[in-house]
Amino acid sequence: MNKTIRKTALILTLFTATSYSLSANEVANSYGTEKEAKQMLERAIRIVDSNPTVAFAMMNVGQGGFHVKDLYPFCFDKKGIMVAHPTLAGTDMINFVSSDGVKVAQVMLRKAEKNKLSKISYYLNRTISSPDGLPIISKKEFKKTTFYQKVGNYTCAIGFHPS
C-alpha cells in the first residue's frame, strides 16, 4: 500500500471514529442543533485542512457522519463554485440571493477568515431527508443560520435552523 493511500485511510479512520455527545433531547429532535452544527463543521474543517479531496468526497456522499438529521457541511472555492455539497456540488453559488436579499456566497467569501468561525443568517426552505435518504424540500421558508470559515483555498460552512 503506498504512503498516500495509507495516510488517507488513517485520516478516514480517525475522523469517522469521532462521535458526538448528544443529550437524549437532542437525539429526539429531528433537526440539527447549533451545537451539532458547530461540532460537524469543526470536524469537516480538520479533514479539509488535512486532505481536501477525501473531505469533499465524504461530504458529497454524506459519509463519515457528514449528513445527520438536516445537517451537512459544504464548501466552495474562491470563485463561489460549490466543491462539496450533497446535491449542489459543481454549482456556481456566487450570484445566489436568499429570499430576504442576502448574497450568501458573496458575503461568506468576503468575510471568511482562517481560524475564525463566522456566521450569517438568511431565509431558506428547510431540507430534510426522506426515509429512503432522498432530500425533501419544504414549501415554507425558515430562518437559517450558517457558520463558516476559510480553510486553505476554500470556504466551508454548515447551516442549521434555529428554533
We report the CATH number of the domain holding residue 8 as 3.30.450.20
Q: Which domain holds residue 152?
A: 3-160
Bridging pattern class, strands 135-151 and 118-129: antiparallel
**pLDDT digit string (tens) for 74-104?**
999 999 999 999 989 999 999 999 999 999 9
Q: Are 114 and 150 in contact (CB under 8 A)?
A: yes
Domains: count for the chain: 1
- Is the pTM higher than 0.85? The answer reads no
Confidence of residue 30 (pLDDT cuts 50, 70, 90): confident
